[in-house]
Structure 1
Amino acid sequence: VGTYVIVELAEEGNEGAMYGLLTTITNIPGPFGSMITNVIDANLVVDSDSIQADTHEARNGVMYSYIIAYCFTLTGCLSVILLPPRKAAVAELKQHGGKYPRLAAFIFFVFFVILFTSLTGTFASMFDSTNCFALAGGSGCPPGTSQLYLLGIFIPSALVLIAGMFIKYKYS
């Protein structure tokens, strides 16, 4: 059902690119949500031993993790309000909608940062030297462990930002 919107949004000849873009954006929340959950849960006392011991800290940690999860789910559900209500509204937006290049560039930049963060967290979880990081789902690494894995987020994000500025100045 979600891919039917591509028919309305895609211009003639751009269907493949639009489908690829929307599919990528649709698939980003899965790994990113898991990674954010790992980062948040690393700060809470939620592990098998604590839950088995049924400690007060474990109960609070589980409570906070559920509150956070439900708040994010509710926020996601409320974002449906931002969507146009009918097919005619989408056509109207395409024909007469304003152009906001700065907002579009910001949204693309945010999606690229989320994509690179998700990729970095996923790759970091695959290697013994980095799977201890909270970003990779670990509970923390010993002091002095290299933080170079973060370059997987910052370098591609900086390149996207530089490319966006280059395109802006080249075509404006």
Structure 2
Amino acid sequence: MLSKIFETLQRKKQISIFHKHPKVILGNIKLGINNHFVIYKNIKKINLGNDIRFRNYIHILVQDEATLEIGNNVFMNNFCSINCLDHISIGENTLFGENVKMYDHNHAYQSSPEFKIFQNQFTKAPIKIGKNCWLGSNVTVLKGVSIGDNCIIGAGCTIYKDIPANTTVMNKQELIFKS
């Protein structure tokens, strides 16, 4: 009984993050438990459509000057995350398996005169996921990628270049058995 009360309060607290922000357009969303939303003060826009369902342990970060758009009837399974520093767009009727990750940025680095990775500098490029897509469990989508409408991305794929509409992508792994 007490855990149900805590879960309800936690859901209300998380959804209030969207409601309180003046640059968020919010449809109806169903939340699971232990979701975590971080919305910076100076975002460009967040537009969340109707009938969005976030399961458990979803993490969404939208930083200053970034835009996040999620269409109607989108489902994100457990442990998905969106890290938006530029622009991420997800089309309607799209499904995410568990642990799908999206990053529209990379850490900036220099290779000479001495190799150095910058903790607070990034290279950015938008991500666009079309309508009616299914991204299987453990898919990672990297910056600058467009995935066309009606695509299936198989479990475990890392998407680092554009995928044309009506395409199925599979991670061809071979199991090698030795006895």
TM-score (norm 2): 0.23
Q: Give the structure with the higher percent strand.
A: 2
Higher relative contact order (CA 8 A, sep 6+): 1
Query: Max radius of gyration: which structure?
Result: 1
Higher share of residues assigned helix:
1
- TM-score w.r.t. length of structure 1: 0.23
